[in-house]
Amino acid sequence: MGTMGDLWGPIGPYRGQWGSIGPYRDIGVTVFPLYPEGGPISASRSQKGSVLYPFGYGVGDATTPHEDDGMSPEIPLTETFSFYGRPYRSLYVNNNGVVSFGTGVPEFTPHPFPLDGHRPFVAPYWADVDTRLGGDVFYRETRDPNVLNRVRRDIDPITDPIEPDPKPTWAFIATWDRVPFYGAASNKVNTFQAVLATNGVTSFIILNYGDIEWTTGIANQGDPHTGLGGIPAQAGFNSGDDVHYYNIPGSRTAAILRINQTSNVGIRGRWVFRVDEFTATEGPPGSPPDPITGPQNPIEDPITSL
């Protein structure tokens, strides 16, 4: 599905620059910011009434480079995070909606899990993001007691009451804030977040979704005005053992646009998983996500709930 100038990596085609991951692909797209830079941010950012944890420069976040298919450098962790039974002490935050272990993921086409090539990663929303057009990808480690107390509450619905309270002592928060898609000719943007938490033994991942307005960049046959069509975004986990994985329902279908209306814990826009020994395997995605029915838990404000 690539075009002239594509390179194929372990997962699929990617774009880059000489001296990094290959020659940059020019398919006739002129880059214009979707909105002007707002300058340094002095306070934490959030979406009012959303499930997002606080993020931004005001809470000490770093950012990835504003690049097409960019990523952070390798980030050493001050705590061991266990993912599918393997311990990790570093990770990468990738602009295209992925937190990966062992290596970065510049690939912009979301492929169905499981993937070949031993590539362990978390995909809150794997799609073709281009932060040259606007938006930010924030990240930080934290041991803030207020954040950890909130994590403890948020993972409670999936913890086994007969097991000891896991009491996370560390968290890593990555936030994609108002990010546009590659080739966008509109102001449609997405905001979503991955929270990794552990006590050094038991590990959890919380995926939070704010405004989701697009699913596909134009290099994946998406419409430049709507950001829809083509090969939509993928959400879930790839273990890296080429066997175990999990697809959030609706992945790689048009229904992924409504991921912020779905949940596995009864709170719209939130998915929570234990991942240190996570072995759930699901068939190819295809069915749309089921709407949440029945009474809903109130959605916490990400600032006032701390």
Alpha carbons 51 and 262: distance in angstroms, whole number = 12
User: Residue 55: which residues within 8 A CB-CB, separation 6 or more?
Assistant: 44, 45, 46, 61, 138, 140, 173, 175, 177, 193
Cα–Cα distance measured from residue 12 to residue 256, given in angstroms and rounded to the nearest whole number: 21
Residues facing residue 203 across a β-bridge:
198
Say what the pTM is.
0.80
d(CA 183, CA 221): 10
pLDDT of 197 over the 60 cut: yes
What is the distance between the alpha carbons of residues 258 and 111, in angstroms, rounded to a whole number?
19
Q: Read off the pLDDT of residues 32-56 as tens digits, 9 standing for 90 and up.
A: 344 333 333 334 565 555 799 999 9
For residue 130, the one-letter residue type is D
DSSP conformational letter for 283:
-
- When mean pLDDT is compared across 19-28, 137-146, 221-230, the lowest value belongs to 19-28
* Residues facing residue 197 across a β-bridge: 171, 204
Residue 31 CB neighbour total at 10 angstroms: 11
Q: What's the DSSP call for residue 45?
A: B
Structure tokens at 143: 């041991």
Judged by DSSP in three states, 141 sits in strand
What local confidence, expressed as pLDDT, does residue 42 receive?
A: 32
Please answer whether residues 15 and 265 qualify as being in contact, where contact means their C-beta atoms are separated by less than 8 angstroms: no
User: Distance between CA 62 and CA 68 in Å, rounded?
Assistant: 18
Q: Is the pLDDT of residue 285 over 50?
A: no
Strand 98-100 versus strand 121-126 pairing type: antiparallel
pLDDT over 90 percentage in the chain: 66
Which tens digits make up the pLDDT trace of 144-195?
999 999 999 999 999 888 888 899 999 999 999 999 999 999 999 999 999 9
Distance CA 216, CA 274 (A): 29
Q: What is the rounded distance in angstroms from the CA atom of residue 128 to the CA atom of residue 305?
A: 32
Is the confidence at residue 288, as pLDDT, over 80?
no
Task: Please state the length of the chain.
Answer: 306
pLDDT over 60 at 138, yes or no: yes
Q: Is 227 left (phi over 0), alpha (psi -120 to 50) or beta?
A: left
